[in-house]
Amino acid sequence: MTIAVYPGTFDPITNGHSDIVARAAILFDKVIVAVAASPGKGPMFSIEQRVALAKEALADIKNAEICQFDNLLVDFASQHDATVILRGLRAVSDFEYEFQLAGINRRLAPDVETLFLRPAEQYAYISSSLVREVAGLGGDVSEFIHPVVQAALKCRNS
């Protein structure tokens, strides 16, 4: 069984994230969406809320599992028998940082491979931070996120 881990803060999960999970679910037996605690980023939603939103947004993807983590990613991958770390690349500007992460992860866990996936073209410009910003200013973000995420954002911004 080939298991891939797709880590991120997912604050909130977007249609771009969902697209990557859906496509990865075709390639791997199991895709673990690893929601990072990331307290240093000061997330809008709690870890429990982000996990719950991801579970609802990805409910139709049967081989996707959503977990939270707050330890070293390669340790999390090892604990879950994952041999692949998935990372999304929206633009060239993402590459340098992702390349550094892949390099350090390879040094820490040579048996875990990092693979990069690009979201579908219509999602390539979406980021969680832009969704939060637009929603916070009262803009319509319905085409960028799952309806349950939109409802959660409306509650937060009311």
Tell me: pLDDT of 96 over 80: yes
Cβ atoms of 126 and 144 closer than 8 Å? yes
Distance of alpha carbon 126 from alpha carbon 134, whole angstroms: 11
Q: How many domains does one find in the chain?
A: 1
Distance of alpha carbon 90 from alpha carbon 15, whole angstroms: 13
Q: Which pTM does this prediction carry?
A: 0.94
Distance of alpha carbon 158 from alpha carbon 79, whole angstroms: 40
108-112 average pLDDT score: 96
Domain that holds residue 103: 3-157
Distance of alpha carbon 14 from alpha carbon 117, whole angstroms: 15
Identify the CATH number of the domain in which residue 59 sits. 3.40.50.620
Catalytic annotation, residues: 17, 41, 90, 128
Q: Name the pLDDT band for 84 (thresholds 50, 70, 90).
A: very high
